[in-house]
């Protein structure tokens, strides 16, 4: 069956297949938005952070190996380097909520919990930097953080300087215990305070998500101007249902979300809890952006799906997993260099869902290299079905918008199979496991095709 003739596959409704490339080209050219130009986050940030796996575990007496403490972050920094993650681009070690004392110091300064961080945050920052990594920290634009620790209200200037003095490289500012209407002023002002310190710090905002839940339309022009990345939606949970919700949100709202992304300014897709819970307990939430691969709630196939779609969506790749115990097959997903390259593509064009029908979705992202007016692409085939059997999807490259007469070198990025140079009229059929993914790269070629080559597997056919 030719899936892409059932429903429109384009970025805009009712566009015929031969218009895909033209629209993609216009899309790429028309959304160069001037964002925060602090020279940082030219590709989506990558690293490790604590929240999804370790939450707000402050019981260092009863659970010393897993509590939020300097020992945990030093251990994870060690493993990010020794286990090969740093060499692949995972560079940030980010502390989240629950690192503070419950009250400020005598001069109004932030104070790390004296028992769990006895050497202080500057010492932890120095340790992370000694490993060749970068150090990130959490605070909140409110009276309190989401877990009830001191927020920045009334202390923005001194807190920004304190972060600079600690040699912080990445600041995530949450939005609990604050008024969403005040965020249009407060988030830009704290960003200015960070810049005034003279230290370059990636600025991650939770600004739009709180306004969305308050019924306010975020001013994305201002958000792009002042933030390197921002949350559009709610927390990730360690489940496939949570992952599906965020996939749907980004697919259903892509016309609003996608144009805002680009080098230096990124959408930050995290997962979602029940909407009713969000509305009633918004101030208790922790807005993060983790990869939950290697924890407890996702199968192997579902973990592959998250990583592939995060790459298509140009999302930050921030692991939140216990690197001491992660199983080899999940580690291999997180260390897939070819999919990381898709996520880190320098064009910075966020991908889109171009097809959806009966549980089958196709997502596509323009990437480098470019030849003449033709982009290369990463294409993800996603099976949202749960009927217990793999699904076949058959489509020509042309129907995916790949129309260069010079052809495309096609590769399966999980199976590491190179199918050679294929023409736009070549039909491929992929077999996608339930809740799984097949992700391909199609690199446009600089010379006209003289022949078509391929190396098919039993479950993947080219003809």
**Active-site residues: which are they?**
174, 235
Query: Within 10 Å of residue 284's Cβ, how many Cβ atoms?
Result: 13
Closest CA to 354 of 7, 25, 32: 7
CA-to-CA distance for 381 and 46, rounded, in angstroms? 24
The DSSP-derived string for 412-456 is ETTTTEEEEEE-TT-EEEEEE-TT-EEEEEEEEPSS--S------
Decide if 140 contacts 177 (C-beta within 8 A): yes
Decide if 432 contacts 299 (C-beta within 8 A): no
Query: Within 10 Å of residue 277's Cβ, how many Cβ atoms?
Result: 13
Residue with tokens 């961080």: 117
Tell whether the torsion through CA atoms of 102, 164, 318 and 240 is positive or negative: positive
What 3 state SS string does 249-268 have?
HHHHCHHHHHHHCECCEEEE
């Amino acid at each position: 069956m030719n899936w892409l003739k059932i429903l429109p596959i384009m970025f805009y409704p009712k566009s015929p297949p031969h218009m895909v490339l033209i629209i993609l080209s216009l899309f790429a050219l028309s959304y160069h938005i001037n964002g925060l130009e602090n020279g940082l986050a030219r590709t989506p940030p990558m690293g490790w952070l604590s929240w999804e796996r370790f939450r707000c575990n402050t019981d260092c007496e009863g659970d010393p190996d897993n509590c939020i403490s300097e020992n945990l972050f030093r251990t994870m920094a060690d493993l990010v380097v020794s286990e090969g993650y740093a060499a692949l681009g995972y560079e940030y070690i980010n502390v989240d909520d629950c690192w503070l004392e419950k009250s400020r110091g005598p001069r109004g300064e932030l104070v790390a919990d004296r028992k769990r961080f006895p050497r202080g945050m500057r010492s932890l920052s120095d340790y992370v930097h000694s490993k060749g990594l970068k150090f990130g920290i959490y605070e909140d634009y409110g009276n309190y953080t989401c877990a009830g620790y001191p927020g920045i209200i009334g202390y923005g200037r001194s807190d920004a300087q304190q972060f600079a003095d600690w040699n912080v490289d990445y600041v995530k500012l949450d939005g609990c215990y604050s008024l969403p209407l005040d965020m249009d002023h407060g988030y830009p002002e704290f960003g200015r305070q960070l810049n005034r310190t003279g230290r370059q710090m990636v600025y991650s905002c939770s600004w739009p998500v709180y306004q969305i839940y308050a019924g306010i339309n975020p001013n994305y022009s201002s958000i792009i101007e002042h933030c390197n990345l921002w949350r559009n939606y709610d927390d990730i949970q360690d489940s496939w249902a949570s992952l599906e919700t965020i996939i749907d949100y980004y697919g259903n709202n892509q016309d609003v979300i996608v144009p805002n992304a680009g080098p230096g300014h990124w959408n930050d897709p995290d997962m979602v809890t029940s909407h009713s819970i969000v509305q009633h307990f918004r101030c208790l939430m922790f807005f993060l952006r983790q990869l939950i691969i290697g924890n407890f709630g996702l199968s192997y196939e579902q973990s592959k799906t998250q990583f592939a779609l995060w790459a298509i969506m140009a999302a930050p790749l921030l692991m939140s997993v216990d690197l001491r115990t992660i199983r080899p097959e999940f580690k291999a997903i997180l260390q897939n260099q070819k999919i990381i390259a898709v996520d880190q593509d320098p064009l910075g064009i966020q991908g889109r869902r171009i097809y959806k029908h009966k549980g089958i979705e196709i997502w596509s992202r323009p990437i480098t290299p470019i030849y003449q007016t033709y982009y290369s692409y990463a294409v993800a085939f996603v099976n949202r079905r749960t009927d217990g059997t793999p699904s076949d999807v058959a489509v020509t490259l042309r129907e995916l918008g790949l129309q260069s007469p010079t052809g495309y070198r096609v590769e399966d990025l999980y199976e590491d199979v190179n199918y050679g140079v294929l023409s736009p009229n070549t039909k491929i059929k992929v077999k996608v496991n339930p809740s799984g993914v097949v992700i391909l790269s199609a690199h446009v070629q600089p010379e006209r095709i003289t022949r078509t080559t391929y190396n098919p597997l039993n479950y993947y056919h080219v003809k």
